[in-house]
Amino acid sequence: MRTWQELTRRVLTVMALAAGSLSIVTPQQPAQPQTAFTNQYCVGCHNDKLKSGGLSLASVNSRDIAEHTQTWEKVVRKLRARAMPPAGIPRPDEKTYDAIVTSLETSLDRAAAAKPNPGRTDTFRRLNRTEYRNAIRDLLALDVDVSSLLPGDDSSHGFDNVTVGELSPTLLERYLSAAQKISRLAIGSPVRSPGGDTMILPADLTQESHFDELPFGTRGGTVVHYTFPQDGEYEVQLRLARDRNEDVEGLTGSHEVEVTLDGVRIQVFTVKPPARGQDHSKVDADLHVRVPVKAGAHELAADFVKKPTALLETVRQPYQAHFNMDRHPRVQPALYSISVTGPYNAKGPGDTASRERIFVCQPAKGADEDGCAKRIISTLARRAWRKQVSESEIQVPFKFYEDAKKDGGFDAGIEMALRAILISPHFIFRIEQDPSNVPSGTAYRLNDTELASRLSFFLWSSIPDDELLDVAVKGVLRQPTVLEKQVRRMLADPRSESMVNNFAEQWLYLRNLSSANPDARMFPDFDDNLRQAFRRETEMFFESIMREDRNVLDLLRANYTFVNERLAKHYGIPNIYGSRFRRVTFGPNDENRGGLLSQGSILTVTSYATRTSPVIRGKWILTNILGTPPPPPPPNVPPLKETAEAGKVLTMRDRMAQHRANPACAGCHKLMDPIGFSLENYDAVGRWRTSENGSPVDVAGGLPDGSTFNGLAGLKKALLSRPELFVSTTTEKLMTYALGRGVEDYDQPAVRAVVQNARNHDYSFSSLVLGIVNSTPFQMRRSQ
C-alpha cells in the first residue's frame, strides 16, 4: 500500500500539472521555476496552465510537515474543499482525496500536540462599543445607548472586537465623557438645568398598521425605553411627519394621538387639518404634555388610535409601503419624533434599579460613611475589573470619593468613585499579562479570572456575573464539570442574546441592512418595516438554533422560519396576520423557503440597489459557508454592460458572461458566479421570481469542487453533502469572535478537534461552543 507521502506527491503533482496552481518538490525532483503572474486578483484563482496560483510548494518537502505548517494547512483547506484542480480537469477520486487529507491532518495535529501554539491575543484589548454598553448594563442595571458617546469600531476578520488594542487621546476623552454621564445617571445626581433628548423615527417607516409593544387598537408610533434621571416632571413633545412642502402627510381628517407611560395612557390629542387658507405649521404645535415621572427606566410610547382601514383607490394591488408623497404617499398621519425634556421641579434620585445595584449599604450616621463607601467601592471594582481587588487597588477611587464628599456629600463621593472605576484601565481594557516566571515564546494557561472574562465576553459580550466570578476566584472554574456547567448556564441566560445580535449579525452581515436602500423606482414596496422584518426573521431563526441546541446544519436546511404579516406577504406565505412574529413550517414540497440562504436579509445585503449580484452572493457563500474566501478584486474593474445591447435585453447571466471575458476577472468569477446564479430565483429584495426582463431565470449553478446543480434546493443539497465544511467555517467564525483575533494556521488542529467532537454530538450548537471553550487557543496564551 502506498504511504501517505506518496499519495501526497501523486495528488499534488496531478493538481500542479492540471492547473499550474501548485508545485511540489520530491527528493528526486528538482524545483521548477514558476512563471510570475502579477495580477493580484488572480492569485489563487487563475486556471491557465502556464500561470502559477499563489500557493507554492517549491521549497517544501512533504516529509517536513511540522516545519511548514502554514503552507500545509493551505493545502489541506484547498483539498478539503475540493477547490483544486479546477472543474473540468482530471482529478483524484474521493477515496484518494480523503486519504491524503486525513494523512495530512493527522500529521499536522501530531505536530501541534507535540509543540502547542495557542497564539497570542493583545495584552490590552479595549472594550468595544457593544461590550461597553453591555458591561454598564450588567454592572449598574443601566441600559444606555452609547452610540452618541463612543465612536463605532472598525472590523477585522469580520468582527469589531479584533482591532481594539489602541486608545488614542481623542478616544480616551470620549471614554472620560461617557463615564461622567453614566455615573451621574446611575447615581441620579441633580442637574443645573433640565436636559432633553429627541428620538427620530426612520423616514421610510410605514405607520399604517399596528406595531409590536404598542396597545392593540393602535397603529404607527413608537416605544422609547428611556431612563429618567430623577423624580420630577418631564415634558413630552410629539412631532408629525411632513412632506417637502412642510405639510403633515396623510392629514385629511381628524386623528387621535395618545401618549402612554408604562402602558398607562397619560394624554390623548386630536389633530385636524388646518382651516382653508392656513398652512400646517401649527397642526402639531400643541402635541406636548408635562407629566410627573419616577426616576429610572420606563417605557414611553406614542401612537395613533386606529381608524377603519383606509385604502388608496388604485387599479392595481396597493403597495404595503407608505412613506413617499410621490410614489407611495401616506394614507394617514405618521409620527416623526418624540422628545423628552426635564426634570422640572426635581425631587431627588428616587429608588432606581441602578441605585439598588450600587448602594449595597447605607450609612446610618456620618461616622459610618467611609466604611460603607469602601464596601460599595470594593463591590463595584470587583465586578467592573473582573477580579478580586485588594485594599491598595481601591485607594484611587476611594481618594476620589473623599475629595468629592467634602463639597457634595456621600452620594457625590460615590459618584466620583464610580467615575474613577469606569475610567480605570482595568475596566476599559481586558488585560492578559504574561506571568513573570514564563520564558518568552512559551505556551501557558490563563488564570481562572482571565478565563472567566474570556468566557463572559464570548457568550455575553459583557463582564462576568457574580456566580462566574466567584468560581473563578476560588480557582475551580477550569475543572471540566464546573466549566461545562457554567457554559450551559450562560447559554441559557437571556444575556446570551449577544450571540445573536453581536456575533450572528456580524457573521451574516445583518448590520449592513441599515444601509441597504433598494432603488425606490424598482422596488417601491421596500420600507423600514420590511428591513426590520428581515432582520428580526434572521435573528429569531439563529436564536432558535442556539436556544433549542439544534444541529448547526439546520442553519442551511431547516424547514421553518419566523414571519409577521408584512414579511409573509412579501414571501407569498398565506394566512399570516398581524405584527407578531410567529414560527411557520414549510411542507416537503416547498423548497423555495427555509434556511439562511432564502431569507430576505441575506439576499438583500448581497445585492445592489437596482439588481441582484451573483458575484456578491457567491462570495458571501464562499466566505461564510465554505470558508474559502476569494482574494480581493483588482483595481479599475470595468462595470457590467447595460441590460440592453443592440436591441437585445440581457439577463444577469448574459451580462456576467461578458464580464468574465476579461482575463483579469475570469479566474475568481468562475468560482463565485456559478454559486450566485443558483440564487437568481430571488430578486434584490428576496422575492421569488421565475423570469428576468421577460426571459426565464436560469438557475444552473456549481461549486468549486466541480459539482453542478439547479437552484436553491440543489445548492443546499451540494453544501450538505459535505457537512464538515460548513461546520468548520462556523467553528472558525465562533473562534475568531471568542478569541478576538484571526484564526491562524496553528489554530487549525484545535478547529478540527472541535468539529470532530461535535460530530459525535450531532453538530449541536452547544458542542461547538464547549469545544471552543475547552480548546488550547481559548484556555492558553503564548508569552511574548
pLDDT tens column, 541-566: 999 999 999 999 999 999 999 999 99
Question: What pLDDT band is residue 219 in, cutting at 50, 70 and 90?
Answer: very high
pLDDT at 58 over 70: no
d(CA 8, CA 24): 9
Radius of gyration of the chain (CA): 30
How do 648-649 and 708-710 pair as beta strands? unpaired
Question: What pLDDT band is residue 34 in, cutting at 50, 70 and 90?
Answer: very low
Q: CB of 754 within 8 A of CB of 775? A: yes
Question: What pLDDT band is residue 31 in, cutting at 50, 70 and 90?
Answer: very low
Q: List phi, psi (to 5°) of 363.
A: -70, 130
Q: What is the pLDDT of residues 720-768, one digit of tens each?
A: 999 999 999 999 999 999 999 999 999 999 999 999 999 999 999 999 9
For residue 113, give the nearest of 770, 750, 771 by alpha carbon. Answer: 750
Torsion over CA of 370, 374, 375 and 380, rounded to 10 degrees?
Answer: 130
For residue 237, give the nearest of 162, 376, 336 by alpha carbon. Answer: 336
Residue-level length of the chain: 784
Which whole number is the average pLDDT over 409-430?
A: 97
Q: What is the pLDDT of residues 172-185, one digit of tens each?
A: 999 999 999 999 99
In 358-469, beta strands by DSSP E: 429-431, 443-445
Which whole number is the average pLDDT over 349-361?
A: 97
Torsion over CA of 682, 686, 691 and 692, rounded to 10 degrees?
Answer: -100
Q: CB of 699 within 8 A of CB of 529? A: no
Give SS3 for 574: coil
How do 57-61 and 24-25 pair as beta strands? parallel
User: How open is the CA angle 12-18-24, to the nearest 5 degrees?
Assistant: 30
Question: What are 162's three cell numbers?
Answer: 479584533
Question: What pLDDT band is residue 419 in, cutting at 50, 70 and 90?
Answer: very high
pLDDT at 42 over 80: no
User: In the prediction, which pLDDT does 37 show?
Assistant: 23
Which whole number is the average pLDDT over 451-476?
A: 98
d(CA 716, CA 713): 5
Which whole number is the average pLDDT over 532-539?
A: 98
Mean pLDDT for the chain overall: 89
Q: List phi, psi (to 5°) of 149.
A: -100, -35
Question: What are 536's three cell numbers?
Answer: 428580526
Number of helices followed by number of strands (H, E) in the chain = 27, 22
Question: What pLDDT band is residue 41 in, cutting at 50, 70 and 90?
Answer: very low
User: In the prediction, which pLDDT does 484 show?
Assistant: 98
For residue 457, give the nearest of 488, 509, 503, 418 by alpha carbon. Answer: 503
Report which DSSP code applies to 225.
E
User: In the prediction, which pLDDT does 40 show?
Assistant: 31
Question: What pLDDT band is residue 62 in, cutting at 50, 70 and 90?
Answer: low
d(CA 719, CA 77): 16
User: In the prediction, which pLDDT does 92 show?
Assistant: 86
Torsion over CA of 157, 686, 599 and 625, rounded to 10 degrees?
Answer: -40
Torsion over CA of 452, 457, 461 and 467, rounded to 10 degrees?
Answer: 0
Better-scored residue on pLDDT, 58 or 553: 553
d(CA 574, CA 262): 34
H or E stretch at 582: strand 582-585
Question: What pLDDT band is residue 277 in, cutting at 50, 70 and 90?
Answer: confident
For residue 128, give the nearest of 109, 147, 102, 107 by alpha carbon. Answer: 147
Which whole number is the average pLDDT over 387-414?
A: 96
User: In the prediction, which pLDDT does 66 show?
Assistant: 81
pLDDT at 663 over 90: no
d(CA 616, CA 679): 11
Count the neighbouring beta carbons within 10 Å of the beta carbon of residue 644. 10
CA 685 → CA 95, 531, 575, 679, 681, distances in Å? 42, 9, 22, 12, 11
pLDDT at 47 over 80: no
Q: List phi, psi (to 5°) of 526.
A: -90, 130
Give SS3 for 693: coil
d(CA 73, CA 19): 19
Q: At which residue does the C-alpha cell 495530512 appear? A: 104
User: In the prediction, which pLDDT does 14 show?
Assistant: 42
For residue 711, give the nearest of 696, 726, 723, 729 by alpha carbon. Answer: 696
pLDDT at 141 over 60: yes
Three-class SS string for 170-218? Answer: HHHHHHHHHHHHHHHHHHCCCCCCCEEEEEECCCCCCCCCCCCCCCCCE
Beta partners for residue 708, in sequence order: 702
Region of poorest pLDDT, from 102-111, 149-158, 478-487, 625-634: 625-634
For residue 462, give the nearest of 438, 430, 431 by alpha carbon. Answer: 430
User: In the prediction, which pLDDT does 39 show?
Assistant: 31
Better-scored residue on pLDDT, 231 or 670: 231
pLDDT at 54 over 70: no
pLDDT at 268 over 80: yes
pLDDT at 53 over 60: no
pLDDT at 192 over 90: no
User: In the prediction, which pLDDT does 648 show?
Assistant: 59
Region of poorest pLDDT, from 5-9, 27-31, 326-330, 613-617: 27-31
Question: What pLDDT band is residue 86 in, cutting at 50, 70 and 90?
Answer: low
What burial class does residue 35 get, using C-beta atoms within 10 Å of its C-beta: 0-12 exposed, 13-18 middle, 19+ buried? Answer: exposed
User: In the prediction, which pLDDT does 694 show?
Assistant: 86
Better-scored residue on pLDDT, 39 or 55: 55
Q: Which residue type sits at 72?
A: W
User: In the prediction, which pLDDT does 600 show?
Assistant: 98
d(CA 91, CA 14): 7
Count the neighbouring beta carbons within 10 Å of the beta carbon of residue 579. 17
Q: CB of 712 within 8 A of CB of 700? A: no
- Percent of the chain scoring above 70 in pLDDT: 87
Question: What pLDDT band is residue 327 in, cutting at 50, 70 and 90?
Answer: confident
Question: What pLDDT band is residue 57 in, cutting at 50, 70 and 90?
Answer: low
In 52-114, beta strands by DSSP E: 57-61
Which whole number is the average pLDDT over 520-531?
A: 94
Question: What pLDDT band is residue 319 in, cutting at 50, 70 and 90?
Answer: confident
Which whole number is the average pLDDT over 587-606?
A: 95
Three-class SS string for 133-168? Answer: HHHHHHHHCCCCCHHHCCCCCCCECCECCCCCCCCC
Q: What is the pLDDT of residues 285-300, one digit of tens each?
A: 999 999 999 999 999 9
d(CA 322, CA 310): 12
User: In the prediction, which pLDDT does 320 show?
Assistant: 87
User: In the prediction, which pLDDT does 641 show?
Assistant: 61
What burial class does residue 130 get, using C-beta atoms within 10 Å of its C-beta: 0-12 exposed, 13-18 middle, 19+ buried? Answer: buried
d(CA 64, CA 62): 6
- Percent of the chain scoring above 90 in pLDDT: 77
d(CA 30, CA 639): 44
pLDDT at 260 over 90: yes
Question: What pLDDT band is residue 333 in, cutting at 50, 70 and 90?
Answer: very high
Strand order in the sheet with 264-271: 218-228, 296-305, 255-261, 264-271
For CA atoms 62, 67, 69, 70, the dihedral sign is negative
pLDDT at 537 over 80: yes
Which whole number is the average pLDDT over 471-496?
A: 98
Contacts 24+ apart (CB under 8 A), 324-331: 324/204, 324/520, 325/243, 325/244, 325/249, 327/520, 327/521, 327/524, 328/524, 328/525, 329/249, 329/250, 330/206, 330/207, 330/208, 330/241, 330/249, 330/250, 331/208, 331/250
Which segments of 448-479 does DSSP mark as H helices, in order?
Answer: 448-459, 466-473
d(CA 352, CA 142): 10
